[in-house]
Every structure is written in C-alpha cells, then in structure tokens.
C-alpha cells in the first residue's frame, strides 16, 4: 500500500508472502556465511546481521534480481530476446538469473516463482513473464550449443519480473530480500553463538596458502620499486 497507494487483494498478498518465504533461508550462501563468521567472534547479533546485509548488497548475490530486471528492460520485447541473448553469449557474457553455484538442475524456488510470475502476468496483462520465459529457453539452447552444458534458472530470474509487476521499485529488491532473509540469518547466528552441541566457542579462521615465488632458504633478492618492471 505504501508504494502503490492501493490496498492489495488477497491474491497479491499471497504471491508476495510466498516470495518472502522462498527467500527466507538457503543454507550457506554468501551472506549467511558472513553472518556466521561474524557471530563466531561472539559479536552482537546486530553486527553479524549488518555484515550479512553488506554481503547481500552485491550484484551477484542479493542484487542479482535487480540486474535481471535491468536486462529485461533492455531487451524490451519478446522478439528481441533471441538476438540479444545470442549477441551477449557471442561475447562470452553472463546471462543474469541463469545458473547456480550449487544447483545443477532447476532451482526449486525458481519453479514456484515461475508459476507465480505467470499468474501475475495474466492478471496484469504485462509482458514480463513471456519475455523472461523466452530468456530462459534461449539461454538454455545457446549454452547447450556453445558449451554442451545444461543451465537452468535460479531464484532471481522470475523474482525480478514478479517484483516489477507488483510495482516494487527496483532499488527496493535487495532490501526486500534482506527483510526476508533476516529470518534465516537470525537462526544461523543464534546457532553459531549459543549451540549447546558446541563443546567450546569456535572462531572461524580459514588457512591461507602462499602461492608466490619461493626463493629458497636464502630468500629473494630485494629490488627497490623504481627498478621493478
């Protein structure tokens, strides 16, 4: 209501509520891992949550559905999808909303969001579902031809058009993601800080492996900056 000035009907409420549920938790994604790492120092929950929000703000994480919508707006019409995708793939560019770091099959969240986007497009008469579906099928075909690989939509592909058809400004996509995901973050932070199963506090401390040049026991020759290439 605060964004549109109109009270949403029950169907719109249910669609948005489903979106929030689907974004509430998703194992050790980037922002959740950051939240747990900060929590492992016994920092305050607010600090761990703030760190998670910082990770979520990146365009490859919580900002991805905004990038998807920018792509859809640039494509503009369903007739422009195939040439647009072909041009991008000929340059080796990534198609936002396609592929996932974990799923090597259809993201189950995307399956639900796809149906919701289809339903909302039928209700509003907007073209974004049809354009998005064409992006999906064209990208799958192009990746198969180019690399012989299967690629599928992730959660961002159809959430982009959903939020846009819900009249949510694109710059609020990531904050809405955070509103939803804070449920998952809180659960992880509490588990990390207060888990009874943990015999003692465990601070996250990954090891680093040096991959630079090894000069032997005598060490490397030092060169002043003005003599280095």
| Per-residue model confidence as pLDDT tens digits over 147-192 | 999 999 999 999 999 999 999 999 999 999 999 999 999 999 999 8
Percent of the chain with pLDDT over 70: 97
For residue 197, pLDDT beyond 60: no
CATH of 10-194, one of 1.10.230.10, 3.40.50.970, 2.60.40.1120, 3.90.1150.10: 1.10.230.10
Residues 184, 35 contacting (CB under 8 angstroms): no
**Which residue would you say has higher pLDDT here, 188 or 213?**
188
How far apart (Å, rounded) are the C-alpha atoms in residues 109 and 105?
12
How far apart (Å, rounded) are the C-alpha atoms in residues 156 and 67?
9
Q: Does 100 qualify as catalytic in the annotation?
A: yes
Region of 3 please: left (phi>0), alpha (psi -120 to 50) or beta.
alpha
Residues 109, 27 contacting (CB under 8 angstroms): no
Catalytic residue, from 9, 44, 61, 100: name it. Answer: 100
pLDDT tens digit sequence for 107-135: 999 999 999 999 999 999 999 999 999 99
**Which residue would you say has higher pLDDT here, 193 or 169?**
169
For residue 52, pLDDT beyond 80: yes
Residue 153 forms beta bridges with which residues?
Answer: 98
Residue 60 neighbours by CB under 8 Å, 6+ apart: none
Boundaries of every domain in the chain: 10-194
Q: Does 9 qualify as catalytic in the annotation?
A: no
């Amino acid at each position: 209501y605060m964004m549109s000035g109109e009270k949403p009907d029950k169907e719109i409420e249910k669609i948005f509520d489903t979106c929030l549920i689907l974004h509430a938790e998703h194992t050790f994604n980037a922002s959740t891992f950051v939240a747990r790492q900060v929590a492992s120092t016994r920092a305050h929950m607010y600090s761990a949550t703030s760190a998670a929000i910082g990770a979520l703000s990146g365009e490859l994480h919580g900002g991805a559905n905004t990038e998807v919508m920018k792509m859809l707006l640039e494509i503009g019409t369903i007739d422009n999808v195939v040439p647009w995708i072909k041009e991008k793939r000929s340059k080796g560019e990534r198609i936002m909303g396609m592929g996932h770091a974990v799923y090597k099959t259809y993201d189950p969240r995307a399956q639900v969001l796809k149906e919701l986007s289809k339903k909302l497009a039928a209700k509003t008469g907007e073209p974004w579902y049809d354009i998005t579906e064409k992006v999906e099928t064209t990208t799958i075909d192009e990746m198969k031809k180019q690399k012989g690989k299967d690629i599928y939509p992730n959660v961002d592909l159809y959430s982009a058009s959903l939020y846009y058809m819900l009249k949510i400004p694109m710059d609020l996509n990531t904050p809405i993601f955070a509103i939803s995901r804070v449920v998952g973050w809180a659960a992880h932070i509490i588990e990390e800080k207060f888990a009874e199963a943990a015999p003692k506090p465990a601070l996250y401390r990954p090891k680093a492996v040096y991959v630079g040049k090894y000069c032997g026991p005598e060490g490397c020759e030092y060169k002043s900056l003005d003599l280095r290439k």
